[in-house]
Structure formats: C-alpha cells, structure tokens
Amino acid sequence: MQSSSAQNAVTADNLNPGGGVPGSVTFGTGGAKQIAFPDGGKITDSANGMTLIGGGANKTVTVDGGWSAGAILDHGDSNGTPNQRSTYPVSINRYVVEAPDNGASPDTVPVDSKILNDYCRDEDGCWVSLYMRKFDANDVMAGVTARHLSLGLVVNNKQVWDMRDSAANVSYGTDNNGAIEHVLNIFSSCFLTDGEYVNGQGNGDSTGFGLLNWYRTDGYYNSPDMTCVLIIED
C-alpha cells in the first residue's frame, strides 16, 4: 500500500520534485536538490556548491552561534621548494564589550580571555576596534579603527601582544608581568588594558584584559552618557 500524501511521516524513501509540505516547505522542481520556504528563503545544493538565501524583504541570513568558512593555507619553506597547500576552517565572528560611564570610580569590564584567544590566536589573527559612543552632547561617535592585534605564545604564564595600526605605529606589552600596560587608548578616555581597576584605582596587572571607561578631570569626553565600545572581529 502507498499513500500519495501523509499528515505525519517518519521517513520518506522517495520525494517528488515540486512536492513538500503545503504552506511550510517546497522541494525543488526539475530534480534540483532544493528546499524553499514561503517567505523566500531557500537552500539549494548543486554541482557548484550549496547556496543559502535568506527570506523576507531583506533576504537576511542570520546565524546564531559560530560561523566558519574555508580558507586556503600555502606553507612555503623560504628555500624554493613548492608550497605545501592545506585548508582550514576560519571563524567569522564578532565580540563586543561595552563599558558605561561610572564617574570617578570606574571598574574595568573584563574581556573574555577564551573568546580573545579563540579569535586572535589563530592563523589570521583578529581586528580590534575601540570606540567612544555619545562622548558629547551631539551624540558624536569617535573611534580608533583598523587596529590589528596579534597575540604571541604564552611564555611562563605571560601573554605577549603586539598591536599595529595602518601608520605602522607599534606598541608592545606583556600581560601578567607586574606592570599595567594599555593596548589601545582613545583620547585618554577608553582603554583596552591589561590592568585591573577598582573604584578608579589601579589594582595591578591582572591576568587577561579589560575595558576601562576613564573619568577625565579636564572636562573632555566625560559625558555621563559616554560608553566605551570594544569590537573584536575574527
């Protein structure tokens, strides 16, 4: 016995092109390996690869969780030997940390060390941007962009970092070496720092990094609405 349609099905050995679940999904016609949804979203698998199209007017595809893309790695020996080629998955992620104003007694907002390592300690490093949001009455947003941060190996529990910008300015530092050092500084108001601050007082060199919204006594950039925003992109 065979049913041409089913309200509920555990498995289906054969599906006709163009069939599907009315109002929910439609299978591709002409033998195409495709699943289409009523709002325009579509998943298509072909000899050229897989295509994912978002639904709705904006055709937006949203990924909740990690997202990786294939990357090609050519490894040479600097001695004329042909490259050894391999592929590896590269994550495409963004991590945002915000530090609001807390007057003259700010605490550092911790930056997740695991996320920082996952994003920055790989083949292609990470990009770090630091912004000030609403630093004046005109709701102006200023920032330091296109800063590349690469983290070196951990040696004796000390994490070495090297920050470079497009002007080739270089700043070196070592985390957990007993000295407070700032990786990024914008207008002496927002800091990506390896130091820990509690109630506006430096509490020494912490393990890891934090975002600090600093109170300036000269009246500049200390609007109570000002927020420091750190963006790390892999």
Q: What is the pLDDT of residue 152?
A: 47
Q: What is the pLDDT of residue 153?
A: 41
Distance CA 125, CA 4 (A): 54
Task: Give the mean pLDDT of 16-34.
Answer: 76
What pLDDT band is residue 162 in, cutting at 50, 70 and 90?
A: low
Q: What is the pLDDT of residue 175?
A: 76
Q: What is the pLDDT of residue 218?
A: 85
Do the beta carbons of residue 148 and residue 166 sit within 8 Å? no
pTM value is 0.74
Q: Could you report the per-residue pLDDT of 103-143, keeping only the tens digit for each?
A: 999 999 999 988 888 887 777 777 788 888 887 766 666 65
Between 54 and 175, the more confident residue is 54
Distance CA 54, CA 124 (A): 28
State the DSSP string of the chain: ---S--SS-S--S---TT-EETTTEEEPSTT-EEEE-TTS-EEEEETTEEEEE-BTTTTB----S--EEEEEEEE--SSSPPPEEEEEEEE--EEEEEEE--TTS--PEEE-HHHHHHHHSSTT-EEEEEEEES-STT--EEEEEEEEEEEEEEETTEEEEEEE-TT--EEEEETTSSS--EEEEETTTEEEEEEEEETTEEEEEEEEEEEEEPPPTTSTT--TT-EEEEEEE-
Distance CA 148, CA 157 (A): 23
Give the chain's length.
Answer: 234
Give CA angle at 141 (198, 225), nearest 5°.
45
Q: Could you report the per-residue pLDDT of 27-75, keeping only the tens digit for each?
A: 887 666 888 888 888 898 888 888 889 988 888 888 888 788 888 989 9
Percentage above 90 pLDDT, the chain: 21
Task: Give the mean pLDDT of 161-188.
Answer: 69
State the DSSP string of 204-215: EEEEEEEEEEPP
Q: What is the pLDDT of residue 198?
A: 95
Among candidate residues 233, 214, 222, 220, the one with its CA nearest the CA of residue 99:
214
